[in-house]
């Protein structure tokens, strides 16, 4: 039985993906569940976070968003039984790769998969669904009538975030990084209030948002990264399509919420002063926040269940690429790690 792993170079700058033969799994004990994997979604690996958590290994397992069938349960498992169809996200310290036929996982990381939801839909939506819930409900307290700016709305995550915001009765504004993205966003139903095409670098996001909101500014901003410096000083990888941090602060309304994915965000005293005068808040969207805290495990499970429910009722319609077989996972993960491709890639077993 083979599984996909990655190993880091001595400089920790490059990672290599390798298939590794695995031993048979031991007897399932206590609160653990043995799972036959039917689908596993691919996401970028945060090697910096793993290093900060002192998680040093020769080989790290790859693939965490899984859906599958329960084969066996430990003596203390209370929520699942053999043949149940489940979905979940493996913890950061999991010893088993999701890109493998069979894995072991603690029952508190799993929820039941609705019958209407396919394996690939379940695995391909669970992570972005949790991220969208965390950003819009936990960090910015989304409510009906609010205006929301979702940057890069045609991405796999942006699509789910827009659908959740619409479901809650919000007015959605979004940015498009290409003509194809713009066309994708214009097909949304209910329609997006305004699609801002930033592909040519000439459109000013702040001006467009203030015009759309009658000068009041937006209530919630969910960015996809920001520029910290002027265009001349910004590294080449930070394509000029990202808004400057000053633009985000300018377009925020009074009492607004800025949810950022920029982990190295730096604010100068004038920036903080402007946020203070607006009574605005700043929150960081950390993908692993639920993994790093066991205190709110019950809340995390409720989010997982709600994501699956909205998927089964058609509220969420994920952007998935064509499923691929396991033997193509290595090449696909290399592309995902380089942030290539727009749609979510899922391996189907």
Domain final residue, candidates 256, 284, 312: 284
Q: Which residues span the domain enclosing 52? A: 2-124+290-348
- Residue 130 lies inside a defined structural domain of this protein: no
Structure confidence by residue, pLDDT tens digits, 298-326 = 788 889 999 999 999 999 999 899 999 99
- Residue 51 lies inside a defined structural domain of this protein: yes
Is residue 214 domain-shared with residue 268, that is, in the same domain?
A: yes
| Mean pLDDT computed over 227-255 | 77
- Residue 133 lies inside a defined structural domain of this protein: no
pLDDT band at 237 (very low <50, low <70, confident <90, very high): very low
For residue 239, pLDDT over 80 is answered with no
- The angle formed by the CA atoms of residues 59, 62 and 64, to the nearest 5 degrees, is 135
Domain final residue, candidates 265, 284, 303: 284
Number of domains into which the chain is organized: 2
Q: In the prediction, which pLDDT does 234 show?
A: 56
Is residue 222 domain-shared with residue 149, that is, in the same domain?
A: yes
Closest listed residue to residue 334, CA positions, set 2, 14, 26, 90: 14
Is residue 208 domain-shared with residue 270, that is, in the same domain?
A: yes
pLDDT above 70 covers a percentage of the chain that reads 94
- Residue 134 lies inside a defined structural domain of this protein: no
Is residue 273 domain-shared with residue 201, that is, in the same domain?
A: yes
Mean per-residue pLDDT over the chain, rounded: 88
Is residue 9 domain-shared with residue 105, that is, in the same domain?
A: yes
Is residue 202 domain-shared with residue 259, that is, in the same domain?
A: yes
Q: How far is Cα 175 from Cα 241, in angstroms, rounded to an integer?
A: 10
Structure tokens at 134: 């965390």
Q: CATH number of the domain that 221 lies in?
A: 3.90.180.10
Q: In the prediction, which pLDDT does 253 show?
A: 95
**Chain centre distance of CA 69:** 24
Q: How far is Cα 6 from Cα 334, in angstroms, rounded to an integer?
A: 10
- Residue 322 lies inside a defined structural domain of this protein: yes
Tell me if 214 sits within 8 A of 223, measured CB to CB: no
- Residue 219 lies inside a defined structural domain of this protein: yes
- Residue 135 lies inside a defined structural domain of this protein: no
Is residue 57 domain-shared with residue 82, that is, in the same domain?
A: yes
Is residue 296 domain-shared with residue 205, that is, in the same domain?
A: no
Q: In the prediction, which pLDDT does 277 show?
A: 95
Q: In the prediction, which pLDDT does 13 show?
A: 64
Q: Could you tell me which residues come within 8 angstroms of residue 344 by beta carbon, excluding any fewer than 6 positions away?
A: 41, 42, 124, 125, 128, 156, 318, 319, 320, 321
Strands 147-150, 218-222: pairing kind:
parallel
Q: In the prediction, which pLDDT does 261 show?
A: 92
Is residue 99 domain-shared with residue 173, that is, in the same domain?
A: no
For residue 202, pLDDT over 90 is answered with no
- Residue 138 lies inside a defined structural domain of this protein: no
Is residue 159 domain-shared with residue 236, that is, in the same domain?
A: yes
Is residue 162 domain-shared with residue 228, that is, in the same domain?
A: yes
| Mean pLDDT computed over 28-37 | 88
Domain final residue, candidates 284, 307, 329: 284
Is residue 171 domain-shared with residue 220, that is, in the same domain?
A: yes
| Mean pLDDT computed over 114-129 | 94
């Amino acid at each position: 039985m083979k599984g996909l792993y990655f190993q880091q170079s001595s400089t920790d700058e490059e990672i290599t993906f390798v298939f590794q033969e695995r031993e048979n799994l031991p007897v399932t004990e206590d609160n653990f569940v043995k799972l036959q994997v039917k689908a596993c979604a691919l996401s970028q690996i945060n090697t910096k976070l793993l290093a900060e958590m002192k998680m040093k290994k020769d080989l790290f397992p790859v693939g965490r968003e899984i859906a599958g069938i329960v084969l066996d349960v430990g003596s203390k498992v209370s929520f699942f039984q053999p043949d149940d169809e489940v979905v979940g996200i493996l913890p950061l310290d999991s010893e088993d790769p999701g890109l493998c036929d069979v894995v072991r996982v603690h029952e508190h990381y799993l929820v039941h998969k609705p019958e209407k939801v396919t394996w690939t839909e379940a695995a391909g939506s669970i992570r972005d669904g949790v991220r969208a819930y965390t950003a819009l409900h936990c960090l910015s307290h989304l409510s009906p009538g609010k205006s929301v700016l979702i940057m890069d709305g045609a991405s796999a995550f942006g699509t789910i975030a827009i659908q959740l915001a619409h479901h809650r009765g919000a007015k959605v504004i979004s940015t498009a990084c290409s003509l194809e993205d713009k066309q994708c966003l214009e097909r949304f139903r209910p329609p997006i209030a305004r699609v801002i095409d930033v592909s040519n670098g000439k459109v000013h996001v702040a001006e467009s948002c203030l015009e759309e909101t009658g000068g009041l500014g937006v209530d919630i901003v969910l960015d996809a990264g920001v520029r910290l410096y002027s265009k001349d000083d910004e590294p080449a990888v930070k394509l000029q399509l990202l808004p400057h941090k000053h633009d985000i602060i300018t377009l925020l309304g009074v009492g607004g919420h800025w949810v950022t994915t920029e982990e190295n965000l730096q604010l100068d005293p004038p920036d903080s002063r402007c946020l203070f005068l607006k009574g605005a808040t700043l929150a960081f969207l950390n993908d692993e926040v639920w993994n790093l805290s066991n205190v709110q495990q019950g809340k995390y499970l409720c989010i997982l269940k709600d994501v699956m429910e909205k998927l089964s009722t058609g509220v969420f319609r994920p952007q998935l690429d064509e499923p691929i077989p396991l033997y193509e996972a290595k090449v696909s993960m290399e592309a995902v790690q380089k942030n290539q491709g727009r749609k979510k890639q899922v391996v189907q077993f």
